[in-house]
Structure 1
Amino acid sequence: MAPTRSSFQALPLTQNEHRFYFSTIPVDELFPYCFVARRQEDPSQGFQRTLSQDRANDIARYLSAGNGSIPTNVVLSAQPIASLKYIAGSKTLSFLQVERSFLVLDGQHRLWGYSKCTRKHRVPVAIYQGLTRAEEAKLFIDINTNQRGVPAALLLDIKQLADMESVKENIMRVLFDRLNTDGKSSLAGRLSPAKPSPSKISRVAFNRALGGALDSELVRGLEADPLFQLVRNYINAFDAELQDSQLLTRASYFEAMFDIFDEALRLTLGKKKNLKQASIQEIIRTIAKLDFTGQSMTRKEYLVSMQSSLRQSLAVSVDML
């Protein structure tokens, strides 16, 4: 039995030496005829990465929710077996419904997400015609090197506009913005909201640092102003004691600082009965005096040093008995 030929409205476009077509095709009439040349499965001819089922499932859930959309097209390369034909008069593109008719050059996770979606959407596509395997691989490289993702810091910065912030993200955004502008904050002007910047803490690093610290029972339930004052006291205490003030804006050090946030505050409360900056300074003084000159350390390495110093300085001595 001869394969069925499907036809869809399409618009042609030629860029330099390449011709491709824009169209939208129902997922059930497209997905069965697509394939991916994965490097793992075909070392000589493959170039795509391994499919992440979790990512495809996330896309499927997003499309099934009923309020999301993905306008970005999937990029395909029509294989000779597809017998792709374009009729200019009717502006229709047709192909044979045959397995492996289209090689996926970009958007494999989107395409698999569409296929898993409970709603049967049309898939926006750009279909190339007449590419060799070498040209397909080059186009894959071009797409994945010339496209740049939006910085994570910028995405966090505009989540409020999209009304997508969680409660914790809202708290961290307010803290970040106030610490960056408050005249009494050691971080004033030393935070970078929308993109990474040398000698500044990005919003991404800030959120990584405070994400766990805000789960402490000591701060849970605090109103905005007392929470801000406490975090400012803690940061200012380190800044006042540090011999190298640049450590405060080294992301791995800053994050390690907040890994001991709960422990340091509890020790301060136990010994000083308050959480004022001066009291916190006394507790973290030995930590801040640690010499890391010329060392590039990970968050975990800083944390181990900080915890060791904090606990040694508060060890029980004979004089206390």
Structure 2
Amino acid sequence: MYHILAMEEGQLPGKKGGVSFQAAEVISRHNDSLKASEVRWDLEKKASRPFVTVERDEQLTKGECYPEILRAALERNRDEGAIDLLVQVMAPDLYANLPAISEKEIAGSLTNLSLTLQELHDRYGEAAAHVIDEVQAARQKDAEQKARKEALSREVKDAAEAHTFSFPAVRGVQAGREYYIAQIPLSVLVKLFVFDDEYVPPELRAQRTLNQTRAKGISDYIVANQDEYVLPALTASVSQEMRFDAINGGSLGMLNIPMDSTLLINDGQHRRAGIELAMDAASQLKNETIGVTIYFDEGLERSQQMFSDINSRQVKPSSAINALYDKRDPINKWLMSLLQDMPTIRRLIDFENATVGRRSKKLWSIVVFRRFVMRLTGLRDKEVPGQEVLANAGRLVQRYLETLAINLTQWDNLVSGRLVASEARDDMVIGHAVFLEALGLFGNQALLDGGVLGLQDVDELHWSKLVSLYTIDPGKSSQVWQGRCVLHGKMQKTADGVKLTAAALLSTANCPLPDQLAQLESRI
């Protein structure tokens, strides 16, 4: 515990004449030394009086005076200052980054300490010599470590010239087998690590066939995000015994792999192929590294089992989580910002699952809500608009949802929470994703005539067309939804179901159907 004590009496400015304090009075207590220093400097500035920081195991009472503790602290500070002065006198070159102390500065410091130079030597010589010894010992240790690093560097160079490939690695044990995690330069990875030929039959391969489209996607990702790309480690097997030279007998060291061995990728062949393509487009990547977990190759059966164990236990994240976390997608980033401005709607969104469970208190997943917004505004993923258009789209979405609350039966109760989401899903179409997407398609056609929102004045759109929605029966049993979003009493979420539901809404609003919806409607 760090305590700040006043060295003499004084007063801190404030209301009603300020606050007075006595010498040796505890002004404040702090758990952190840096915070205590900041507060002490601030107090000295405000009160124009000196304060001292005292570290004590026991907690001192704020407002109480402790003259003995203050006296001891001042004496300790005086001793530390005297030792520091003598160190500078005895070894002026000890701290290479500090200028040597001048004779005038030495004389001034001795005057403040009320000591002669001989008295300073007599009283503090032993302590100063101890400090000098400690600093020199630390320098010696640093020099030894530097020498070891240079020796290791030479060892790495020598190993590279021998008949092995050598990489810095960490040694570990899994299931009683030794394995290594190495940092491999990307240029070395594509030259040394191979994957099975695609023409080898599946039963004789340790991997799946390489998908060039997937590899190209990884390459495009790396090249487009050279300052922030992330690639997880690969897993590989080596066909011959490896030698691990540990540093000081620990788990860190150099992994030496025979040059005539085969380094087979068990998991990550698409990353390796993507890296090779990326380096063709951005050669500066060649010196960057990737982690590779390396095992001894115990044969095809073991390699195939490793591939199965790794891939069968991977769980692909939901599209909702991807939408939530992918801040590179400007539409996602804008949508998350928009939902921050709509807390009532935001609490109804499931950000973790692509579909909402039947008993969930949430209404829609973030994936479905995103599709609703895109359908309503007419925006496209591959044609990202400017900030002004996105801001206008935000105004449209908010105005549209507010208008639905006024005109669509039970919508306000659903959004406000007066109507429980799970009950709405049981009895009504308005609590389902298919209906929300249909509302987006309907709104785009009714308000924007099926076009794309630009910088139009949102208030000048065809809002009167939404008034007729009050006649809509939201019940699942209503005849109007049969064969559209309801089939044999159950909700159906299909592309045609969305369009046919939107067609019903447009007909209610006396809006002409576009050709595609008219063709579908003719089937009904």
TM range, smaller chain: 0.7 to 0.9
Offset at 1:4? 4.8
Partner residue of 1:290 out of 461, 481, 491: 481
Q: Is the 8 A contact 1:8 1:94 kept in 2?
A: yes
Correspondences of 1:109-258 after superposition (within 5 Å): 109-116=270-277, 117=279, 118=282, 119-120=285-286, 121-159=288-326, 164-166=328-330, 168-179=331-342, 181-182=343-344, 189-196=347-354, 197-199=356-358, 200-215=363-378, 222=392, 224-225=394-395, 227-234=397-404, 237-238=407-408, 240=410, 245-246=424-425, 247-258=429-440
Distance in 1 separating the partners of 2:430 and 2:177: 52
Partner residue of 2:183 out of 7, 13, 24: 24
* Aligned twin of 2:193: 34
Q: Is the 8 A contact 1:33 1:97 kept in 2?
A: no
Partner residue of 2:234 out of 45, 53, 74: 74
Offset at 1:279? 0.7
Structure 1 pair 192–310 and aligned structure 2 pair: CA distance change class (3 A):
closer
Code of the residue aligned with 1:95 in structure 2: it is I
Q: Is the 8 A contact 1:252 1:297 kept in 2?
A: yes
Offset at 1:40? 7.1
Code of the residue aligned with 1:115 in structure 2: it is E
Code of the residue aligned with 2:191 in structure 1: it is P
Distance in 1 separating the partners of 2:469 and 2:197: 56
Structure 1 pair 111–233 and aligned structure 2 pair: CA distance change class (3 A):
same
Partner residue of 1:275 out of 463, 467, 476: 463
Code of the residue aligned with 2:403 in structure 1: it is N
Code of the residue aligned with 2:504 in structure 1: it is S
Distance in 1 separating the partners of 2:289 and 2:505: 59
Code of the residue aligned with 1:290 in structure 2: it is W
Code of the residue aligned with 2:236 in structure 1: it is L
Offset at 1:73? 1.1
* Aligned twin of 1:51: 210
Code of the residue aligned with 2:254 in structure 1: it is T
Offset at 1:54? 3.7
Q: Which protein has the larger Cα radius of gyration, Structure 1 or Structure 2?
A: 2
Offset at 1:235? 6.9
* Aligned twin of 1:319: none
Aligned sequence identity (%)? 18
Code of the residue aligned with 1:92 in structure 2: it is M
Q: Is the 8 A contact 1:55 1:109 kept in 2?
A: yes
* Aligned twin of 2:444: 262
Q: Is the 8 A contact 2:323 2:366 kept in 1?
A: yes
Code of the residue aligned with 2:374 in structure 1: it is G
Unaligned runs of 5+ in 2: 1-161, 380-388, 415-422, 450-460, 513-524
Q: Is the 8 A contact 2:235 2:293 kept in 1?
A: yes
Structure 1 pair 211–283 and aligned structure 2 pair: CA distance change class (3 A):
farther
Q: Is the 8 A contact 1:213 1:261 kept in 2?
A: yes
Structure 1 pair 71–171 and aligned structure 2 pair: CA distance change class (3 A):
closer
Offset at 1:276? 5.8
Offset at 1:107? 1.6
Larger proportion of helix: 2
- Post-superposition Cα deviations, 1:22-49, rounded to whole Å, max 9, x if no partner, equal 1112233332333334787422122533
Structure 1 pair 144–38 and aligned structure 2 pair: CA distance change class (3 A):
farther
Q: Is the 8 A contact 1:26 1:123 kept in 2?
A: yes
Distance in 2 separating the partners of 1:226 and 1:46: 55
Q: Is the 8 A contact 1:214 1:220 kept in 2?
A: no
- Post-superposition Cα deviations, 1:214-269, rounded to whole Å, max 9, x if no partner, equal 227xx976374454021342477556389x942334334432332333123358xx
Unaligned runs of 5+ in 1: 268-272, 317-321
Partner of 1:222, secondary structure, is: helix
Q: TM-score, normalised by structure 2?
A: 0.48
Aligned length: 294
Code of the residue aligned with 2:307 in structure 1: it is F
Of residues 87-96 and 277-286 in structure 1, the stretch that sits farther from structure 2 once superposed is 277-286
Offset at 1:122? 2.3
Offset at 1:88? 3.5
